[in-house]
Structure 1
Amino acid sequence: MSCQERAIDQVVWSQFEQPDAFHWPGYMWLWLDQMSRDGIFSQLETFARIGAKSVWILPEDKAWRAYRQPTELEPAFMTEPFKALFRETLAEAERLGLRVWLNDEPGFPSGGNVGRIVKAHPELIQKRLSRQLQALKGGETAVVPSDCLAAFTGQRRLFPGESLTADSDITLELFYAQAVCSDNTPNYTDLLHPETARQFVAQCHEAWKEVAGDHFGHLVPIMFFDEPKVSNPPWTDGLAEAFEAEKGYDILERLPQLLSSDESSSQVRIDFFDWWTRRLAECFFAPIQAWCGQNRLLLTGHFGGDDYTLGNSHHGYGHILRLLRKTDIPCVDAIWHQIWPGERQECDANTKAPNHHFPKYASSVAHQTDRPYAGTESFAVYGSGLTHDDMIWITHYQFVRGINLMAMSNALSSTRDYFAGRIRPTFVPLEANPLNAYLDLYHAYTARLSYLLSRGRPDVTVALYFPIRDVWAGGETAASAAAAHDRLAEALLERQIDFDLIDDDILADPACLVHDGCLQVGPMHYNTVCLAPTRHLSPEARVRLAQLTASGGRVIWTDATGHAADLRGIRPLVEVQPKQTKLRVCRRVLDDGHLYFLCNEDLAPLDCTVTFAEKWPLYVLDAATGQAWRPAGARQANGRWTLPLQLPFAGACLVLFGAEPVPTVAEPARPGDVIRHLAGGWHIRPQQMYRVGEHNFEIEAGDEPFQPTELGDWTVQLGAPFSGDAAYKLAFFCTPDEAENAVILDLGQVNFACRVALNGLELGRRAWGPFRFPVSGVLRAGENELTVVVSNSMANQFVRAHVLDKWPENVIGPYHKIAKRFEEETVARGSGLFGPVCLIRSGRP
C-alpha cells in the first residue's frame, strides 16, 4: 500500500496481522557524532529487528546549539561525503524494508537552516515587537529615535524624530521592531517574510531532493518540520501597511493596546493575531506544502507548546488549527509529561494542562481535510524511567482521540560520554535501557493499532467550538474561555461522546455547508455543535450556527463548568453500566461494519457492561497478537449487543462488528478463582547489570548465586543503583487437581517487564500488564520450577550512579535535568516482582 493513498474502508486481515511498514512506529534518529557506514548499517539492522520500520533522520549540525548542546557530526551536513553516506543509508534501509523520513533541516526549530539563511540574508532575521519605557521628569526633552516604530505618552502618539518636552513627570512608551537572537535560536529567520520560505526550500528541501529525490514517495514518504515559530508578538517588514490594507486601520496607532489585557482593546489583539497567523500559514507553510506535494512527499511536523489551549497565545504558532491545515499529516507533540497517567489538571493563565485534549487538534484537521493519518511525536524527554505500561497509556490516550501514527524519540547514533545523558529515553542503542529488549512487543501492538484506526472513516457527529478569538483577546477573557472550553471537552469525553474541533475559519468558509440538520465540513457531518461561554464568536460564525439551528441541527451552549442539560440529549457512542467517566471511546465506519476502540484512562481497573447499538456479529480484536475471537460473554438482543468489559490500568479493547466473517481463534481463558498463591520460597540473582559507564553504557553478566528473597522491591538485596535483569526462581508442588484446573499464572505487579519459563518451557514475555501467562499442559502434578526474569528501567542508574554529574549543563544539554526529575519518580515506584503470584482457574464468561 502506498502511504499516500486514502485508507480503504475495510479491514484486510493479512494487513492487520502484518501491517505495512508505514504503520510501524518511526524513530527520531539523531545523527550527532562521527558517522560511519558500519555504524549506520548496524543500527539499521537493529531498527528492522525490533520492528521500528521507519527512521526519521535528524542530522544535528555542529552549528546547532553549539554553546549549549554541542554535537560532533561528521561528515558535515550536505557535504559530498555526507551525501554519499546518506545514499548508502537509503539503499540499506530499502534492503531491510524500512522507510526513511527526512527532517527538513539539521536542527530545530525549523525554518532557519541552523542560522545559515540569516548569515546569507541578514535582513531575514526574526523580529518581535518590543516596548521600552523611558521616564521623563518635568522639563526634560526626549527625541523619538529614528528606528522606533512609534512612541506614546498617554493617548498621544509621537513619530520617529519628533521631540517632546515633558510638562510634568511622565513615562514614554517606545515600540521597536527588535531583532531576535537568543541562545536557543541564534540567527533565526523571520517566518512572516515571504523570502524566508523561498530560501529555506532552496537551501534545505532542494538539497534533500538532490540526495534522495529518486526515492521520494515510496522509500522516503515524509518531510518533517520541528517547532517553527515566530517570536510572539512578531513583527516583519511591511507589516503596518499590509495590516492596514486588510483590517482597515493603522496598527501603529494601536501598539499600546496590543500589549494590554484590557477587554476594551481586545479587538485589536484579535485582529493582530488573525493577521500574523494567516500570514504565517500562507507565506511560510503553504509554499513548503506545495513543494512537498510537487515532489511526492507528505509534509508533517508539530509546534512547541501545543498541549494546552492558551498555548495559542503564549507560543509562536498562534492558531494551531490554521497551521495544521497546511500539513498533510497533522501532528502533535507529547515529549515531556504533557500526557501522563492521572488526573487532568485545571488550565488557567499560568498553568499548562497535562492530559489536555490537544491530540484532537491534529485528528480534527485530518478528519475535516480527508487525511487518513494524524501523528504524534512522543516520549522524547520522558526520561529513561518510562515504562511500557506508561507508553501504552500515553499511546491509547492519543489514539482514542484520533491519532493513528506514532513517531518515537529517541534513537542516538552515539552514546559516548555526555551523549549518554543528552536526551532520554534512549531506545536505540538497545544497551541504553533494560526495557529496550521488549520494544518489539510495543512496536507490533502500535502498528496494528495504527492500521485498524486508519481504516474507514471516523464516526464523529459532534463538533466542539474552539474559542481561538477569545484566546487571542488575552487577559481574563482568555483564561475563562480556555478553562470553560477545556471543561466542556472533558464533559463530552466522560459521557463517551467523541467530537472534532471547529473554529471561526471553518464556520466562515463558503465550503462549509448546512443541510438536513448537519454542518458539513469536508467529509464530516456534524448534527450538534457545542460551545462553552465565549465573547468573541465572529459574526460569520454566528450566522452559520443560526443556519444549523434553522436546518434542524443542535447548537448547545454550556455554562462555565462545561455542563448543560442538553448534553444528556447527545447519544453516546456506547452505553455503559455502571457509569464510567474514565472510559474513552472512538468509532470508525467501515464498508461492512463498525470498529470501536475503548480505553481505560483510570489508574484503577475498570469493570462494566458496554452496550452497542449494532446488529452484525461481534468480534474482539487483539492488537498484541493480531488475532480475533468471539467473546463468550457477549449477548445479542433487540438489535443490540452487550459485552462485559474488564480493563486493567492502561487496558483497551478493540471491538469489530462486521457482515463479513473474520478468522478467529479460541477466546483466551478468562481469570476465575485463585487456586493457589505462590508466596514463599522465592530466590533471586542479578542476571544482567546495565550501567552508565565512564564513557558509554555497559552491560555485565551477573555471576552471583541465587539467594532467598521476599517479593517486593529488590533494591534491599540488589542495591539502589541496580538497573538490569534479575532472575527469580521458585520450586513448588502441585496436586493433581491443581495441575489439571489451573489455566493462568498471574504474576500480579511486575516492575516493569518480564519473561517467564515453567518447567523449562518458555511461557512468553510481557512488557505491560496484566502479567498473565497460560499454563495449561505445562503445569504438572508434583514438583514444578518457575523462572521469572524481571527487567527494571535505567532510571536507577541515572538517579543513583551520578556518573554524568561531571558534565556541565551547557555540554550535556538542558534535557538531562528534566529527564532526571521524571526518573526519580520511577525509582520511587520500586523494582522487581511484587506479586501476588497466583495460579488461577478459568472464569466464566
Structure 2
Amino acid sequence: MGVLTALLIVAASPLQALARSDQPAQVGTRQAETEAGAALSAARFENPAGDSKPTMLWFWNGTITEDLVDRQLADMRSEGLSEVVIFPDATSSLNPAFFTEGWFAMVGHALREAQRTGMKVWLYNDRSFPSGRAAGYVVNGGTIGDRVYEPHPELRAQSIARSELEASGPRSFDVRGRFPGLIPAALSVSDGRLKVDGGYVTLLGRGSDWTDYTFSFDAQPLQTASLGGRSYAQAGWVYRAQDTANGYMYLLGNYPHAGAAGGNLTKIIYKNGAYVSTRVMRLPFNVVSGRSYHVETRVEGDHVVTSIDGMVVDETTDATYAHGTIGFREATTQHESATFDNLRVTAPDGTTLHSQTFDSESALSDFATPAPADNVVAVAALPVRDGKPDLAGLVDLTDRFRAGTPWSVPEGDYQVEYYLHHARTDFGGDGYLNLFDEEAIRRYIQVVHDEYYRRFAWAFDAGVVRGLWDDEPRIATGYGAEPSWSDLVGRNLAHAGATPAQALAATFGDYGPAGSRLRGVLSNAASDALAQAYYKQQGDWARAHGTQIISNPLSDDRPPAWMLRETGDIHKDNQWIQVPGGDAISGRVAPGLRNLVPRYITSDGHQQGASRILHENLGAYGWGVTPQLARYVNGAMGVRGVNLTVLHAYWSNPDSVRYPPSLQPTNPWWNSMDGVVDWTGRVMELTRGQANAPTALLHPQTAAQAWQRTETGDALDNEFRTVTYAMEDAQVDFDILDEAYLNGDPAMNRQAVVSDRALTVGQQSYRVVVVPPAPTMSVKAVARLDELARAGGTVIAYGELPVHEADGQDEALRTALIRLFGTDPARPQPTDHRVGSGHAEFVSTTTDLRRALDGARAPAAQLQPASPDTRVLRVKHGPDQVFILMNEGTKAVDTTAAFPIMGTPEIWDPDDGSHRVATRFDATPGSQATSVPLHLEPTKALAVVFRGQPPAPHLVQSPFEASSVSTTDRDTLQATVIADRPGDFTLVGAEGPRRYTGSLHVEGSFAPIALDGPWRFRFDQPDAQWTERPLGSWTQVDRSYSGDATYEKNVSLSAQDLASGRRLILDLGSVRDVAHVAVNGTQAGRLMWEPYRLDVTDLLHVGENRIDVTVANTPANAHGAGQQSGLLGPVVLRPQQETTVQLN
C-alpha cells in the first residue's frame, strides 16, 4: 500500500526505571490492567501485556466443532493474540445455529479452552450485526432452552410518517374520517415518474387477492447503491406479495455478482422478511444507470415469465405463493433508488386491474395502506399563505382526531398533516426492535444478556468473559427523514414543553429558525430516549453483573448533524457504556484520507474516565490489507487516544469470507502477524495512560439538532471538519466536548464545572475551548464559557458566532456573546478580548485560529519547520508525561519538536521494544521546553520518554544521529556518531549549563553498492523451478499467485567496503509486502513495512556474499485483484561510517 506512518512518543521520570529488563517474556497471557497513577513500564513496553495486544474479531460463519475451536484459538495464540470476540455471522451456513443448545455447547467449549490457555473472550450480543434484534425472539417469539418467549410485534422499530390532505374554509372537516392511512415516505413523484428511495418493499394498497396477472412498467435504475466503496444501480419489483415480508422479488441491476457482473437479474423468494431462495442470472446485456427498461412479469398458476424490452430473460416455475399484490423494492441500507412509470396490471382476459402514469403527487395514494387510528400521534393544520404552509398559524387537531369531532375550517386554505407511527423492517429486518422503547430493550436484555449470564456465570465471574460487544445499532433517521418514535420520545417531548404536532410539523417542513428550534427539541427528545432505553439499560445491566458493554455506534466518523441522524447524541449514548468503541471500516482510514474517527469515542472515554477505549480496525478493507496498512490504521487510531485495538477478522470458515480481509493461516503473511500484534501492543501500552489534553473542541449539539438535513446543517458539518483538521495539523491534542455538558441538560450524567482556571469534565480539565461555527447555541453554554474565561481560561471562536438561541432567547444570546467576545455576533469582527483573568478571541481564518492556539499554548509540540501531517497526543502515566506523535503523510519528516516540558528524552522504539537515552536534544535552562530533532519516516514508529531528570550529556547540534554520548572528564564529551556522507562538520554538546564543541572529518566513498541485474527467483510451490529475472512484480509471471517467493543474489565486497567502522545497510527499495532476509545462510531479520532496510554488516565478509530475500504478499491476487507483489527494488547496500568525536 502507500506510505505508512511514523509514530513518536515522548514521556518523562526516574532514569533508573529505564533499565532494560532481562526477564524473559512470560508464557501465555498476562492480564495486566494498568494501575491508576502507575509510571510507564519499560518491561511492559518491551513485552506488552496480553490485554494491550490486539483482540481478534472471530467470525463464526460455518460448522463449529470442538476441534475447530481448539485449532483456531491455538492459531491465534501462536501469533501472540490472547483475546477474541465470538461474533456469529449472518449466514445459513452457521451450524449450530445461534442460541440453540448446540450453539451454547460450542460457546461453552470455547470459554473452557480459553480459560485453560489463559485467553479472554468477548461475546457479541445478537445473532449478527446490527445489534438490537435479540435474534428475533422478542418480536417473533420462540424458545431458548426451557424458556418460551411470546411474540411482541408491537415492539418493532417505529418511525413517524406523514400523510397530507388539503382543506379549505369556511367548511366542516371530518378529521378522523378523512384519515388517508400510511403513504410510504420512500415514494415521491418527480417529472412524471414514481421515485423510490429505499424503503425496502412498498406495496400497492390493493390487490391482495389477485392471482394470475401481467405486471408491466418502465424502470430506470439509478447509480446510487453503495457496496464496498463503489456505486451500483438496481431496480426491484415484487409480485404475489402477501405483505412487505412475504412474496416474490426480482432485482434488475449491475451489482458485481460473481459470474454475472455488469447486468443481472436476481430472483428471490422471501418469507417473514428473510430470503429463503436467491438465484442470480447473468443478463445478455449490461444494466446502465439512468436508462429506462420496459419490464413485464406474467404469472399464471405456478409459471412465471419475465421479459425486458421485449426479450424473455427468465421462465420460472414455483408454487410458493398463489396470490398477492405488486410493488417495488429498493434497499434502504444500500441507498438504492430507481424511478418507475407506466405501471399496468392486467388480468389474463385483458381487463385492467390497475394502471398509473404518475402525473401528479396524488398517485402516491395508490400505495397508501390502512393504519390503525391508534397509530396517529398527532394531527396538525397549517394555513397556506403565498403557496407555503405557515408554522406560526398551526392548529393542533390531535384531540379532535381522537374524539372523532369535526373541525370548522376558517376561511382560507390549509394543509392538514397526519403523523402516524409505523413499523420499520427495512434497515434491521423484520425482528428489529424499537431501540427508543424501554420495554423492548428490557426484553432484549432478558433474551440475550441474561441467557448468556445464566449459562456462563462462571466465565463472567472468572474474567474469562470480558463482556458483551454491541455493534452498529440502527435508527430510522439514518435511513430516511422519518423521525424515530416511542412513548418515551413523546414523554421527553412533553417535558421539553412542546407538543408532537408542533415538533413533527417543524421536522417535516422548512420553517426557518422557529421551525429549526422545534426540530431540535424533537431531535433532543429522541436522542435522550435512545440513550436512556438502549444504552443506559445495557450499561446498567453490565454494572449489576460486574462486567462490561462495548459500544460501537453505527456512525462514529461523521460530523455533528450527519452523525445525529444515524446515532443520536453519541456523547449521551457513551456516557452509560463501560468501553466506548468505534471502527475503521471500508477503507475509511488510509493514507491521504481525512475523517473524524475516532475523536468522538476517545473524547467520551477520556471524560467518562474509561480505562479502555476500543477500536475495530480493517473491517471490509478487502483482500489487499498489508502489515503496513494495518500499522497505519492502528497507529492513527492510537495517536488519537485508542488503547484497545480489535483486528477484523479471523473467519471460522475461510472459504466463505463476506468482509475481507481474513487474518488467519490462509493469508500468506499470517506468520508475520506477531509483528503487527507486538507493535500494536507497544503503542497501546503507551496510550493506556490518562489523557492530558488541555484543549476542547465544542460539539455544536443544539445547532446540529436544529439544522440537520438542511443546507445550514451541511455547512455546519463542513466547518466542523475544517476546524478539526486545522487543530490536528497544528499539533493540538484535544477532546470533543458536548454542548450538553455546558447547558444543564438533565440527560447528561454530569456537568462541566470551572475550577483552577479550567473547565473540568470528569477526569479531564480544559483551559482552552474552541468554538466552531454554529448558527444556534444555548445561552447557558455561553455563560459557562464566559465563566471559564473570567477564571483565567481561553475561549477561541472561529468563523462565525451563533445568532439563534436554542430556546428562542436570541437577544439574551447576543448580549452574552458581546460580553464574552467584545463583538456583535450579527457582524463579528476579529477580537482578542480580555475577560476577567483570561481572554476570549474571535478569529475569521484558519491561519488566525492556529495563531490563537499557539498563543494559548495549546499545541502539544511546536514543530520547526512546520509539519501538518504530524499528529500529537499527550497522556500521563503517573508522574510521567507522554507525548505521541505520528507522521500520517507520504514523505519523511525532518523537524525539531519543542515539547512544553524540561527533562531528558529517551528513545523508545515500538518496532522492537528497545529504549535508550536520547543523544540529541536541547533543554537549555530557562527555556521551559525541550527540543528534539526528529526524523520521522512514514513507516517508522518511535517513542521518546522524559522522566524528570536533569539533562544528561547529549549533543545539541549534530548533522548525524549519535549512538552514544558520554563524559570522559569534566572538560570533555565523547560522542559516537553514524555518518552517511563525507565532509567537515561541527558538533555541539551539552551537560547541564556547560557547552562543548568538536569537529568531525568524514572521508571516503558513500556511494551505494547496487545489487542490480537479474536475480534468481522461485515461487514457493511444488515443482517450481528457479529462473533468473530482473526485479519487479511477480504478477508479470503469475497474476493470480498469493504466497511466498524467494530471491537470491550474490554480491562481492572488498576489504575497503568492510573497513573498520564501516556499516552496510541493506535497502530493499520497494517490497510487496513482507520480506525475510538471510545473509550467507543466516537469518538477518524480517521487514514488514517501509523503509525496508536492515543493518547486515555483521553477517558480511570480504569476497562473495549471498543475499536471500523471501517475500510474502496478500491474498488479493488469488482473489482476482492482481496487486503488485514481491521484491520490486532497487536493492542496494548503503555505506555508513561509525566515528568517535571528542568535544571540549
CA drift at 1:766: 1.5
- Is residue 566 of structure 2 the alignment partner of residue 566 of structure 1? no
Residues 533, 559 of structure 1: 8 Å contact kept: yes
**Equivalent in 1039, 1061, 1070 of residue 749 of structure 1:** 1070
Q: Residue 403 of structure 1 corresponds to which residue in structure 2?
A: 642
1:105–1:642 distance in 2 versus 1, CA, 3 Å: same
- Is residue 651 of structure 2 the alignment partner of residue 412 of structure 1? yes
CA drift at 1:750: 1.0
Post-superposition Cα deviations, 1:330-352, rounded to whole Å, max 9, x if no partner, equal: 1111111221110x4xxxxxxxx
Q: Residue 592 of structure 1 corresponds to which residue in structure 2?
A: 879
Q: Residue 585 of structure 2 corresponds to which residue in structure 1?
A: 335
Q: Residue 1039 of structure 2 corresponds to which residue in structure 1?
A: 720
Q: Residue 123 of structure 1 corresponds to which residue in structure 2?
A: 154
Partner secondary structure for residue 438 of structure 1: helix
Q: Residue 1013 of structure 2 corresponds to which residue in structure 1?
A: 681
**Equivalent in 263, 268, 282 of residue 512 of structure 2:** 263
**Equivalent in 60, 63, 66 of residue 34 of structure 1:** 63
Q: Whole-Å Cα distance in 2 between the matches of residues 836 and 336 of structure 1?
A: 32
- Is residue 163 of structure 2 the alignment partner of residue 132 of structure 1? yes
Q: Residue 328 of structure 2 corresponds to which residue in structure 1?
A: none
The within-5 A match list for 1:170-209 is 173-182=417-426, 184-209=428-453
Q: Residue 792 of structure 2 corresponds to which residue in structure 1?
A: 552
Q: Residue 693 of structure 1 corresponds to which residue in structure 2?
A: none
Q: Residue 497 of structure 1 corresponds to which residue in structure 2?
A: 732
CA drift at 1:39: 0.6
Residues 48, 97 of structure 1: 8 Å contact kept: no
**Equivalent in 452, 456, 469 of residue 224 of structure 1:** 469
Q: Whole-Å Cα distance in 1 between the matches of residues 978 and 421 of structure 2?
A: 67
Q: Residue 541 of structure 1 corresponds to which residue in structure 2?
A: 781
**Paired amino acid for 1:406:** T
Partner secondary structure for residue 527 of structure 2: helix
Residues 180, 187 of structure 1: 8 Å contact kept: no
Q: Whole-Å Cα distance in 2 between the matches of residues 285 and 763 of structure 1?
A: 51
Partner secondary structure for residue 329 of structure 1: coil
CA drift at 1:163: 6.8
Q: Residue 980 of structure 2 corresponds to which residue in structure 1?
A: 672
Greater percentage in helix: 1
**Equivalent in 638, 662, 681 of residue 447 of structure 1:** 681
- Is residue 658 of structure 2 the alignment partner of residue 422 of structure 1? yes
1:771–1:546 distance in 2 versus 1, CA, 3 Å: same
Which range moved further: 554-563 or 1-10? 1-10
The within-5 A match list for 1:365-384 is 365-384=604-623
Q: Residue 942 of structure 2 corresponds to which residue in structure 1?
A: 653
**Paired amino acid for 1:642:** S
Q: Residue 215 of structure 1 corresponds to which residue in structure 2?
A: 459
Q: Residue 765 of structure 1 corresponds to which residue in structure 2?
A: 1086
The within-5 A match list for 1:698-713 is 701-713=1021-1033
**Paired amino acid for 1:303:** P
Q: Residue 350 of structure 1 corresponds to which residue in structure 2?
A: none
Residues 754, 790 of structure 1: 8 Å contact kept: yes
Q: Residue 477 of structure 1 corresponds to which residue in structure 2?
A: 712
Q: Whole-Å Cα distance in 1 between the matches of residues 379 and 510 of structure 2?
A: 19
Post-superposition Cα deviations, 1:777-796, rounded to whole Å, max 9, x if no partner, equal: 10111101111111221112
1:241–1:231 distance in 2 versus 1, CA, 3 Å: closer
**Paired amino acid for 1:680:** D
Greater percentage in strand: 2
The within-5 A match list for 1:382-397 is 382-397=621-636
Residues 301, 330 of structure 1: 8 Å contact kept: yes
CA drift at 1:170: 8.0
Q: Whole-Å Cα distance in 1 between the matches of residues 699 and 1138 of structure 2?
A: 46
Partner secondary structure for residue 763 of structure 1: strand
CA drift at 1:204: 0.6
Q: Whole-Å Cα distance in 1 between the matches of residues 579 and 784 of structure 2?
A: 28
Post-superposition Cα deviations, 1:638-686, rounded to whole Å, max 9, x if no partner, equal: 2643322112224332111014799xx9689968355433342332434
Which range moved further: 198-207 or 14-23? 14-23
1:626–1:512 distance in 2 versus 1, CA, 3 Å: same
Q: Residue 467 of structure 1 corresponds to which residue in structure 2?
A: 700
1:518–1:122 distance in 2 versus 1, CA, 3 Å: same
CA drift at 1:536: 1.8
Residues 377, 500 of structure 2: 8 Å contact kept: no
Q: Please provide the CA RMSD for this pair.
A: 2.8
Q: Whole-Å Cα distance in 2 between the matches of residues 323 and 287 of structure 1?
A: 11
1:237–1:615 distance in 2 versus 1, CA, 3 Å: closer
**Paired amino acid for 2:660:** R
Q: Residue 1129 of structure 2 corresponds to which residue in structure 1?
A: 835
Q: Residue 376 of structure 2 corresponds to which residue in structure 1?
A: 148
1:414–1:513 distance in 2 versus 1, CA, 3 Å: same
1:171–1:540 distance in 2 versus 1, CA, 3 Å: closer
Residues 143, 163 of structure 1: 8 Å contact kept: no
Q: Whole-Å Cα distance in 2 between the matches of residues 745 and 780 of structure 1?
A: 14
Instruction: List alignment gaps of at least 5 residues for structure 1.
Output: 65-69, 345-354, 689-700, 800-823
1:17–1:380 distance in 2 versus 1, CA, 3 Å: same
- Is residue 325 of structure 2 the alignment partner of residue 92 of structure 1? no
Partner secondary structure for residue 615 of structure 1: coil
Q: Whole-Å Cα distance in 1 between the matches of residues 1078 and 935 of structure 2?
A: 27
Q: Residue 275 of structure 1 corresponds to which residue in structure 2?
A: 525
Q: Residue 575 of structure 1 corresponds to which residue in structure 2?
A: 862
1:765–1:459 distance in 2 versus 1, CA, 3 Å: same
Aligned length: 778
Q: Residue 722 of structure 2 corresponds to which residue in structure 1?
A: 487
1:554–1:642 distance in 2 versus 1, CA, 3 Å: closer
CA drift at 1:277: 0.9
1:715–1:163 distance in 2 versus 1, CA, 3 Å: farther
Residues 240, 252 of structure 1: 8 Å contact kept: no
- Is residue 251 of structure 2 the alignment partner of residue 251 of structure 1? no
Q: How many percent of aligned residue pairs carry the same amino acid?
A: 26
1:162–1:713 distance in 2 versus 1, CA, 3 Å: farther
CA drift at 1:313: 4.7
Q: Whole-Å Cα distance in 1 between the matches of residues 920 and 489 of structure 2?
A: 68
Q: Whole-Å Cα distance in 2 between the matches of residues 254 and 210 of structure 1?
A: 43
1:366–1:680 distance in 2 versus 1, CA, 3 Å: same
Q: Whole-Å Cα distance in 2 between the matches of residues 73 and 734 of structure 1?
A: 59
**Paired amino acid for 1:108:** F
Q: Residue 641 of structure 1 corresponds to which residue in structure 2?
A: 930
Q: Whole-Å Cα distance in 1 between the matches of residues 870 and 167 of structure 2?
A: 62
Q: Indicate the structure (1 or 2) with the bigger Cα radius of gyration.
A: 2
**Paired amino acid for 1:26:** T
- Superposition TM-score, scaled by structure 2 size: 0.65
Post-superposition Cα deviations, 1:88-133, rounded to whole Å, max 9, x if no partner, equal: 2112112222111111122121122122211121111110112235
Instruction: List alignment gaps of at least 5 residues for structure 2.
Output: 1-29, 141-150, 182-372, 384-394, 745-749, 801-844, 952-961, 965-975, 982-1005, 1140-1144
Q: Whole-Å Cα distance in 2 between the matches of residues 96 and 704 of structure 1?
A: 39
CA drift at 1:776: 1.9
1:211–1:683 distance in 2 versus 1, CA, 3 Å: farther
- Is residue 40 of structure 2 the alignment partner of residue 11 of structure 1? yes
The within-5 A match list for 1:42-121 is 42-60=71-89, 64=90, 70-119=91-140, 120-121=151-152
Partner secondary structure for residue 1024 of structure 2: coil
- Superposition TM-score, scaled by structure 1 size: 0.87
Post-superposition Cα deviations, 1:461-498, rounded to whole Å, max 9, x if no partner, equal: 01110112222222122122222222111111111111
Partner secondary structure for residue 1056 of structure 2: helix
1:329–1:435 distance in 2 versus 1, CA, 3 Å: same
Which range moved further: 392-401 or 312-321? 312-321
Which range moved further: 441-450 or 113-122? 113-122
Q: Whole-Å Cα distance in 2 between the matches of residues 35 and 363 of structure 1?
A: 35
Post-superposition Cα deviations, 1:264-312, rounded to whole Å, max 9, x if no partner, equal: 2111111111111111111221121111112221211211122111465
- Is residue 979 of structure 2 the alignment partner of residue 739 of structure 1? no
Q: Whole-Å Cα distance in 1 between the matches of residues 1032 and 979 of structure 2?
A: 23
